[in-house]
Amino acid sequence: MHPEPTLQPAQISLHAPAWLAAWVNAHGDSYPDVATRMRLCIELSALNVEHETGGPFGAVVFDRATFQLISAGVNRVESCSASIAHAEIMAITAAQQQLGSFDLSATGLPECELATSCEPCAMCFGAIPWSGIRHLVCAAGDADARRIGFDEGPKLSDWNKALMQRGISVATDVCRDEAVLVLQRYATKNGLIYNGRADLKGD
């Protein structure tokens, strides 16, 4: 008889695509215009589709005082074999590691804005107040993601009000049409719709 295998502690790794580091290094300037900041997120989502390195979602964390880029993330669910590897989670985690704190609102740290190419799903909505993000900007909406088959989860209907009650300001529909085009391009390319179950459809 073969001995029972010994379970080993999991080595958890959420890694960015190889092209992202060069992109971040090329975008270290200040971006005071909200539409310009959002277009960076949309560019990331489009590049992720073009490089076939994940789903059609991008997110960037900015310093609210200087409008400089702190971190960026793209969807890596399939590549990392991790359902949590949404663009917002990747960008937030990168910012926390860059600034050396799990709390992005800790004393001495810059006030942080999260810009994302699509309204957060239920999971990312929950992560935002725990992260210390103080301002959220979204492009495409929940319905836009559901329209191409993604399941956005059981999120509060008044989710933006719930965040604002926690002191997190919210702006929606910034460059929405441009972000929706990336979602539609992904669907046209038959990109993977990575819901938790193959038979689970967004509506």
Q: Which residues make beta-bridge pairs with 39? A: none
| Catalytic member of 43, 88, 119, 152 | 88
For the question of residue 88 being annotated catalytic, the response is: yes
What positions carry a catalytic annotation? 88
